[in-house]
Structures are given as C-alpha cells and as structure tokens.
Copies of this chain bind each other. A is one copy, B any other.
C-alpha cells in the first residue's frame, strides 16, 4: 500500500515560476557539429548514459501508463538509477512524458498536411481535432506540449512544430474562406488545452468531441460578412 499523498497540481500564475534547463550533452563545448547535432535533447554519447536513458524510459512508460501521476522518485528507483540521473536526462517531468509521447505527437503533426491533401481545409481541421479527441495519449501529449510551453519553458523543441501544424490548417481554411483570416495558431492551441481537464471517466470522449466542435465553429468565417 503506497501512500496517500495527493499530488499538488498547483494552479499558479505562470509568471511566478522560474524555468528549468536541461543539461545532458550540453557540457561538451560542442566542437564542430559532427553531423546530426540537435542542441539540448541530444542523445547522450556515453554508453552508460545511453543505457540509463533507455532504462528510465522503459520504466516510465509502464509506470505512467498505470498511473499518470507516478512519482519520479519511484521511477528512478525502479530504473536503478539515482534521482539526480533521472533529472539530468529529463530536466522536467514534462520532458520525460514528452519523450514518451514524442512519436504520437509527431504523427499527429504529420497528419495535418496529409489531411489537407485529402480534404478541404475545414474538414481537415475537423478530422485533425477528432484524432486528438479520440486518442487519449494524444490528448495528454498535447496537454504536455501546451503545459510546458505555457510555463515559460520556451520548449520550442516540441511546441513550435505543433503551432506550425495548426497554422497550416488555419491558413488553408483562411485561403478558401471557410475559416476566419488572421487567426492566431497559439490561441487555437490554447483552446485545445481544455481537453486534458476533462475527466476521461465521466463521458470524457463525448464531451471532448462536443467542445472541439464548438471550437471549430468559433474558427469558421462569419458568414454574414
């Protein structure tokens, strides 16, 4: 019987909070970029580091699947690694979760242009939203992206592509006149953040769909113009 600790889940003014910085792979003065040399989230070069990273991810995947609020301490322990190591690899909880969802998120991002090729913009947007609503993992993935970005994390790594995907859809809709022109993709992204506040147990999916439909309607061009 674990404990009865109820996770904070604070509701703080974003402006209050400092912001974290990852470190792995950054210590190196980074001589001439060898080939593929993505900045902070670069995969560690040392063998032990790499294996640790994998181990953490494996453990985290199952642990977080069971209870999305599993403690990092527990994950570290179960992965046989010090808490400091976990943080070295994933400077924030979001970073860890993001890594787990990265594939799903990326697939979602890729879907935007695909859908646009197969459907008219408005329809594409609808379908895209549907995918988000349908796959719980995507919902939480999206939530993480928004969350990280909102908290001043400047987590452009994952945030920017997402915004671009939305912008793509919005622009297409603006071009053919079905959506309002000049919409801010970040506004829309923010509206999606509602999704993770929905209790999935109590008619979650249904509610999610309803709300997304409302959002789409809000984005449509005013027909009386």
Q: In the assembled complex, which residues on chain B have CB atoms less than 8 Å from the CB atom of A161? A: none
Interface flag for A27 (CB, 8 Å): no
Q: Does A1 contact B (CB under 8 A)?
A: no
Q: Nearest Cβ distance between residue A53 and chain B, in whole angstroms?
A: 22
A52 interfacial contact with B, CB 8 Å: no
The interface size of chain A toward B, counting residues with CB under 8 Å, comes to 55
The answer to whether B190 and A197 have CB atoms under 8 Å apart is yes
Binds B, one of A78-86, A121-129, A208-216: A208-216
Whether B210 lies near A214 (C-beta < 8 A) is: no
In the complex, are the beta carbons of A94 and B11 less than 8 A apart? yes
Q: Chain B nearest CB: distance from A98 CB in Å?
A: 11
Considering only CB atoms, which chain B residue lies closest to A212 in the complex?
A: B218
- Chain B residues with CB under 8 Å of A9's CB are 8-12, 17, 151
The binding surface of chain A is classed by DSSP as helix
Stretch at the interface among A36-44, A102-110, A141-149: A141-149
A150 to B215, CA, bound (A): 20
Residues in B neighbouring A140, C-beta threshold 8 A: 11, 13
A217 touches B223 (CB 8 A): no
Contact B223 A218 (CB under 8 A): no
A199 to chain B: closest residue by CB? B14
Q: Which residues of B contact A143 (CB under 8 A)?
A: 11
Chain A interface (Cβ within 8 Å of chain B)?
4, 6-18, 20, 67-69, 93-94, 97, 140, 143-144, 146-147, 150-152, 184, 186-187, 190-191, 193-194, 196-201, 207, 210-211, 214-220, 222-224
